[in-house]
A = this chain, B = another copy of it.
Amino acid sequence: MARWEPDARQRLERAAIELFTEQGFAATTVPEITARAGLTTRTFFRHFADKREVLFAEDRATEAAYRLMGEAPPDADPLTLIVAGLRALAAERFEPRRDDLRARRAIIRSDEGLRERELRKRGALHDVVRAAFIDRGLAPATAALLAEIGATLLYVSLEEWLDRDDARPLADLILDTLGELRAVLTVSPAPADR
């Protein structure tokens, strides 16, 4: 629509994260967010259903993931596909926003309802990746396993990246986590009780 729309969305996100951090999620109102951003309430509701959804706008990542997987060559190795997809996601959507993502994490941890919403988001992403692998012809159990691997690589690496202070990019931490996952699973023999 209007040329300033993408900027409005970002300004609203930034203002909301600032206010949630300063005064708490529950205490912050939509009019306060729009006042901080210098925009109208009407503009706010053109972008977000409510103040909570400002923190979960990345749910469009779910659509993006599904689309990306549909576009990949049919014979692409599933793990390569997951790792390449996550590294692209990391570079494009996460790495430019490290401070905001840290603030977002602290806000979500502070509120039970937000923690539940975050779990639902992770569940939705898992379901989409699983469905996309089933569409690619994999057995449901294998598709579920790959979706779990994807979630593990993303969320373990993301936590680590937000905890760290060095310059190592998230995309590289994803490869580190993959290496550690392989090491943990291969060092041990099959359990002795069998």
Per DSSP, are chain A's interface residues mostly helix, strand or loop, or mixed? helix
- Do the beta carbons of B193 and A79 come within 8 Å of each other? no
Chain B residues lying within 8 Å of A80, measured Cβ to Cβ, are 188, 191-192
Total A residues in contact with B, Cβ cutoff 8 Å: 44
- Contacting pair A194 B175 (CB below 8 A): yes
* Beta-carbon nearest neighbor of A173 in chain B: B141
Which residues of A approach B to under 8 Å, CB–CB?
77-80, 83-84, 87, 115-116, 119-120, 122-123, 140-142, 144-146, 148-149, 151-152, 155-156, 159-160, 163, 175, 177-178, 180-182, 184-188, 190-194
Q: Which of B87, B116, B141 lies in contact with A116, CB distance below 8 A?
A: B116
B142 touches A191 (CB 8 A): no
Contact of A156 among B84, B144, B180, B181 (CB under 8 A): B144
Distance in Å from the Cβ of A24 to the closest Cβ of chain B?
22
Q: Are B191 and A84 in contact (CB under 8 A)?
A: yes
Q: Within the complex, which residue of B77, B116, B187, B192 is in contact with A119, where a contact is CB–CB below 8 Å?
A: B116
Given A144-B156, A149-B181, A175 contacting B190 (CB threshold 8 A): yes
Complex CA distance for A152 and B148, rounded to whole angstroms? 6
Please tell me if the beta carbons of B187 and A145 are within 8 angstroms of each other in the complex.
no
Q: Which residues of the other chain, B, contact A115 by a CB distance below 8 angstroms?
A: 123
- Give every chain B residue within 8 A of A186 (Cβ-Cβ): 182, 186
* Chain B residues positioned under 8 Å from A145 (CB to CB): 152, 156, 177, 180-181, 184
- Cβ-defined partner of A152 (8 Å) among B119, B142, B149: B149
